[in-house]
Structures are given as structure tokens and as C-alpha cells.
Amino acid sequence: MKADIPADHPRRGSLLAREAIADGVDSGLVDRTGLIAHGRGEAFDYLLGEATPPPAMMAIDAAAASLLLAERPVISVNGNTAVLSGKALASLSRAHRIPLEVNIFHRTEERMARLVRFMEDFNPHRVLGLDADATIPGLAQPRSRCSSDGIFASDVVLVPLEDGDRAQALVSMGKTVVTVDLNPLSRTARMASITIVDNVVRAIPAVHERMDALSLEEAEEVLGSFVNEDNLAASLLYIEERLRALSGKR
């Protein structure tokens, strides 16, 4: 299918992402419900113009700052995230020595093993998840299972494309939860400490770039001025103004 998409197709990136998710289902990396989640996100990406908006850039800075200042940062990886941004996440993990932890909603041991192998092939700093010897309070099994050396012990968790209930549970544990969610109205976006309203394919490389650029002093200044609720409101306003412009009404 990739060969059938012209290199100059205006929506080539989006079509390739669809193929990656579909291939992920076929290979057992992505649960079939991941197709629905991806389609919902893609609809919001249309509203953003399939480009990173200014509020997202502010959240990207805050996310980078939070990871830089963390004592025990961890990156949580699910099926959709792995097939869309696995290489970029592994690069971030390797560069800043941040462990990855495979943690999925529809959990089976077979799928967990496949995802761990898939991420290991990208050569990250470390991949956790198979041990799953700890429990996140307030969640029913098996969604509560995590690594005691990873998510459970972390102070900052980057959880792209997260489930709202688990995001809330992690915040309740006192963790800083950084998420990437194209839907600024989702429970995840509202529950997280820092929400990047952007496509994960664009957001993860941007976070990596900002982590490489920010000093610790600059990171502290960025975090000191970031308010997630205000940034979500700015994201909604950006969408509203863009739709008004497209409709010819101001």
C-alpha cells in the first residue's frame, strides 16, 4: 500500500499512519479498538489543520521541561503509540536514558511480549512491562498492572494516547502525567498534568528536540508558568478561530 501512495500526495503522512495502525492490528501489536481511537484522533487533527498549533508548542516545552527535571521519568507505550511513534520514542529514551514501559488496555501476555520485542528492536535505553509486579491503586485488573521499577516508582510519566481512568489514577498517586491527545475535551486531556494537543507523530520528535535545547534553569522557568487548564482553553480557542476563518465568518 505504501508504494501506492504518491510521494507528493497532500495527505501522505495521514494515509501512512492509517496503514501503520491497520498493519499493527494484523500483526497483533494493536487491538482492533485502536482503529476507532485513531480515527477519532484523526478527526481532531483535521480541526488543527494537521499541524502543530501554538498552544501545543507551549505544552511541548512544558513536557520537555518536566522530563528534564524528573528524578525517575518513564515513558508508557501502548499499541497505537508503538506503531506510530515507536522509533521516535526509542530515540528519546536512548538519548535521555528514560525507560520505556509497555502498558496496554487490552492486555494479553502474547501481545505484551510482541510489543516489548517490537520496541526493543528500536534500541531504546530500556524496555519494561513484562514483569508487571506492581499495581496502580484505584484501577481494576488487568489495567492496574505495571512495573515496580517503572511506572509505579516514577515521578513523571509520559503517556501518549492514554486511557482517562489510568491518567487520573496516576495523578492520584502524586505523579506528573504528561500526555499527547488530539482531543482537548477527552478525560485524559483534562486529567493530565500537561496535555499536548497534537498528533503524537509530530509531538514526540518535538519533545525530544526541546529536551536537547532546554537548560535546567530554563526548564524550571517553563514549568513555573505553565497551567494545563489555560493551555487546553487556548487549544479550543485555536480550533474555534480556525473554523471561523475557514467558514469566512469572524
What are the pLDDT digits (tens) for 86-99?
999 999 999 999 99
Q: Helix H segments across 97-226?
A: 109-120, 164-172, 187-191, 200-213, 216-225
Backbone phi, then psi, for 101, in 5-degree steps?
-130, 120
Q: Helix or strand or coil: residue 129?
A: coil
Domains of the chain from N-terminus onward: 54-239 (3.40.50.12640)
Per-residue pLDDT tens for 189-210? 999 999 999 999 999 999 999 9
Helix 109-120 vs helix 79-96: crossing angle, to nearest 10:
40
Residue percentage of the chain with pLDDT more than 90? 71
Measured between alpha carbons, how far is residue 233 from residues 1, 15, 52, 76, 161 in Å? 39, 29, 16, 26, 19
In this model, does residue 1 exceed pLDDT 70? no
Q: Which residue has the cell 482492533?
A: 32
pTM over 0.75: yes
